[in-house]
Amino acid sequence: MSADGSAAPSHAAGTTGARPGAVGFLTDTTLCIGCKACEVACKQWNGLPMDDVGFTGFSYDNTVDLGATTWRHVAFVERAGDEAGVRATALAPFQSAWLMMSDVCKHCVHAGCLEACPTGAIIRTEFDTVVIQQDVCNGCGYCIPACPFGVPQLSATDRKAHKCTLCYDRLRDDLEPACAKACPTDSIQFGLIAELMPRATERVAALRERGVDGAYVYGDRAVGGTHGIDGLNAFFVLTAPPETYNLPAAPELPQDKTLPAFLSTAVAALGLCLAAVAALRGRR
Residue 169 shares a structural domain with residue 247: yes
Residue 70 shares a structural domain with residue 107: yes
C-alpha atoms less than 13 angstroms from C-alpha of 149 in its C-beta half-sphere: 30
Residue 228 shares a structural domain with residue 275: no
* Distance between CA atoms of residues 271 and 279, nearest Å: 12
pLDDT grade, residue 207 (50/70/90)?
very high
Say which residue, 139 or 270, is predicted with more confidence: 139
pLDDT grade, residue 143 (50/70/90)?
very high
pLDDT score, position 261: 43
Radius of gyration of the chain measured on its C-alpha atoms:
22
Residue 261 shares a structural domain with residue 201: no
Residue 237 shares a structural domain with residue 267: no
pLDDT score, position 246: 92
Q: Give the domain range for residue 63.
A: 23-252
56-62 long-range Cβ contacts below 8 angstroms, 24+ apart? 60/34
Say which residue, 64 or 274, is predicted with more confidence: 64
Per-residue 3-state assignment (H helix, E strand, C coil) for 20-84? CCCEEEEEEHHHCCCCCHHHHHHHHHHCCCCCCCCCCCCCCCCCCCCECCECEEEEEEEEEHHHH
Residue 54 maps to a domain: yes
* Distance between CA atoms of residues 166 and 163, nearest Å: 9
What pLDDT, in 10s, does the model give residues 77-94?
Answer: 888 755 554 444 555 555
Distant-in-sequence, close-in-space partners of 212: CB < 8 Å, separation ≥ 6: 30, 85, 239
DSSP-based helix, strand, coil % in the chain, nearest 5: 30, 20, 50
What pLDDT, in 10s, does the model give residues 100-136?
Answer: 999 999 999 999 999 999 999 999 999 999 999 999 9
Residue 273 shares a structural domain with residue 239: no
CA 252 to chain centroid: 12
> Any idea which of 170-179, 201-210, 227-236, 259-268 has the lowest mean pLDDT?
259-268
Residue 103 shares a structural domain with residue 134: yes
Residue 18 maps to a domain: no
Residue 108 shares a structural domain with residue 180: yes
Question: Smallest Cα–Cα separation from 165: which of 198, 103, 122?
Answer: 122
What pLDDT, in 10s, does the model give residues 211-267?
Answer: 999 999 999 999 999 998 999 999 999 999 999 999 999 999 987 665 454 445 556
Q: How many domains does the chain fold into?
A: 2
